[in-house]
């Protein structure tokens, strides 16, 4: 049994909050994103947060450190867009292995600074900016911008680098299209088999609106069935919704699985300017309801959340035992 599998039986594990929200506080310029190494690169790089693990590693380290200090047990690597598919927007496909390796290495170094209890690094595997289930062209419903095999190959490269960099667990997250996620899970299983290793895997989908479905049209139950053939550390939901809106879907998940359940909701819904206004205290009160209802084993924050939010969540998580994984 891995350390994280042992820890999740003993207590509710706290995941970190938003990486992007924290990095944006630095107001990095185009020059900051480029650093010395990419100062003459012929394409714009501003906005490529994953690249900051190479050009501004101290800033990324500080975000991890602040989340651990706030009480997080797990931090996610700065690799949400770290595939050749995601990096194609910036013409940096050749940098993918290094980006993921360095991001994992940075997070591992910070995790190892904390010796009070085991701290973990989750390799963040985002959904990419393409969907394998649906056509982006309304006039050609049979067209696909990406194939399952394209995704499998891209994810495999990311997975290998994240493992090499020192991750404890892999987190396939913000899943809006389960076919994309199945490609990631297939790639992970390939790497595990080739290396003869057992790497814990977390899966976190995204309910995109009040219909209670993913973007590719799956209900909570259908999503769960689609990924239930893989041995998982946890299944859950993140992003898109705040803690309040997410609760009914976590309840449905809880009633239908014996897996550990994770949640990292946004800090409420965005306002007219795209900012998140929910305070740490407001979010803490909503998370307390999750805990009282015995819904979760892993809890953290997504868009708009900060170390202050994670501290409030960690404080309340300590008051409760983890969800009993027998069917509720």
Are 200 and 233 spatial neighbours (Cβ–Cβ below 8 Å)? yes
Does residue 74 sit in helix, strand or coil?
strand
- Tell me the CA distances in angstroms from 201 to 161, 169, 172, 189, 275, one per residue in order: 15, 6, 8, 10, 31
Phi, psi of 236 (to 5 degrees): -175, -165
Distances (CA, A) of 297 to 9, 168, 225, 267: 9, 17, 20, 19
Q: Does the annotation list 239 as a binding residue?
A: yes
Query: Which residues share a beta bridge with 120?
Result: 74
Alpha helices in the chain (DSSP H): 3-10, 19-24, 30-34, 52-55, 57-70, 84-87, 96-111, 148-165, 178-195, 220-227, 243-256, 280-292, 307-317
CA torsion 99-300-155-206 (nearest 10°) is -130
Q: Please check if 167 is assigned to a binding site.
A: no
φ and ψ at residue 44, rounded to 5 degrees: -60, 140
Q: Are 237 and 261 in contact (CB under 8 A)?
A: no
Binding site, annotated residues for Zn(2+): 239, 302-303
Which residues sit in the known binding site? 239, 302-303
């Amino acid at each position: 049994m891995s350390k994280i599998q042992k820890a999740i039986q003993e207590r509710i594990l706290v995941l970190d909050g938003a990486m992007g929200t924290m990095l944006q506080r630095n107001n990095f310029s185009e020059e900051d994103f480029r650093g010395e190494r990419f100062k003459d690169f012929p394409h714009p790089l501003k906005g490529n947060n994953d690249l900051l693990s190479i050009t501004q590693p101290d800033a990324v380290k500080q975000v991890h450190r602040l989340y651990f200090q706030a009480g997080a047990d797990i931090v996610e690597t700065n690799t949400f867009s770290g595939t050749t598919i995601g990096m194609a927007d910036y013409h940096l496909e050749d940098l993918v292995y290094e980006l993921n390796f360095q991001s994992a290495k940075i997070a591992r170094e910070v995790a190892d600074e904390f010796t009070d209890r085991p701290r973990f690094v989750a390799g963040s595997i985002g959904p990419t900016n393409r969907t394998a289930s649906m056509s982006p062209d309304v006039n050609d419903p049979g067209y696909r911008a990406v194939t399952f095999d394209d995704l499998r190959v891209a994810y495999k490269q990311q997975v290998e680098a994240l493992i090499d960099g020192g991750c404890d667990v892999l987190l396939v997250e913000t899943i809006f299209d389960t076919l994309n996620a199945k490609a990631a899970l297939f790639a992970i299983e390939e790497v595990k088999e080739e290396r003869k290793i057992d790497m814990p895997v977390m899966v976190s989908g995204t309910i995109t609106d009040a219909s209670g479905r993913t973007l590719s049209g799956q209900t909570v139950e259908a999503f769960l069935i689609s990924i239930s053939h893989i041995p998982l550390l946890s299944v859950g939901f993140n992003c898109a919704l705040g803690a309040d809106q997410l609760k009914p879907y976590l309840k449905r998940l809880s009633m239908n699985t014996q897996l550990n359940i994770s949640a990292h909701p946004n800090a409420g819904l965005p306002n007219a300017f795209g900012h998140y206004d929910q305070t740490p205290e407001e979010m803490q009160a909503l998370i307390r309801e999750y805990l009282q209802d015995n819904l979760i084993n892993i809890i953290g924050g997504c868009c708009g959340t900060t170390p202050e939010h994670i501290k409030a969540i960690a404080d309340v998580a300590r008051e409760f035992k983890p969800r009993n994984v027998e069917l509720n």
